[in-house]
Amino acid sequence: ARAQLVKAVRLDPLSSVIAGGLASVSLDEGRDDEARRQLSRALQLHGGDLLVGIGFLRLKDYETGAEVLRNARLPFIDGAALDTVLAGLKDPAARPVAVAAALDRFDGPGSLFFLLELEAWEEAFQRAEALATSRHALGHLRGTFGLWDPQHAAFRRDPRFARIADKMDIDAPPVE
């Protein structure tokens, strides 16, 4: 994916979508500095979108990520729920309420992303297993933001992830 996106950037250097895609791959690979450069570039080119906002959240730049998501005016982003989740990301004492907001106010892959960020593993497994049983949601599950982040390796090492990966028809990492 990286090679294709690097080539795409050369072909269309003004595309914020391509810059955001390259940032997402960089985050999955643990290349945070490169991801931050690509996200900043995408923000300058377009002003931001879902991919850019989520990218900043993945980098733990919660204020920028939230601002980008709010400015993108996406109908599926609930501002109050986003504030609640962000409070939980910043303060462990607020996590139970944030987990409830992620489950109640965001759908499928969106809630899974926030549950992973909140390290709410039990709830994340429940949501991932539900997504894996739906043929329609399976494609969304494969592309869930943050699923492949290095910081979520413990989630992927859990034996339950192997069952989910099998449903997604991908190889799960070996259990250590």
pLDDT of 111 reads: 84
Query: DSSP E strands: which ranges in the chain?
Result: none
**83 near 63, Cβ under 8 Å?**
no
Q: Considering the entire predicted model, what is its pTM? A: 0.81
In this prediction, residue 139 carries a pLDDT of 66
Task: Quote the distance between the C-alpha of residue 47 and its chain's center.
Answer: 19
Judge whether 99 and 117 are in contact, CB under 8 Å. Answer: no
On whether the CB atoms of residues 12 and 22 are closer than 8 A, the answer is no
Spatial separation of the C-alpha atoms in residues 18 and 6, rounded to whole Å: 9
CB 71 within 8 A of CB 60: no
Mind listing the pLDDT tens digit for each residue in 103-150? Answer: 988 877 788 888 988 989 899 998 888 888 776 666 667 667 778 888
Taking residues 156-176, report their average pLDDT. Answer: 74
Give pLDDT, residue 176: 42
Is the confidence at residue 36, as pLDDT, over 70?
yes
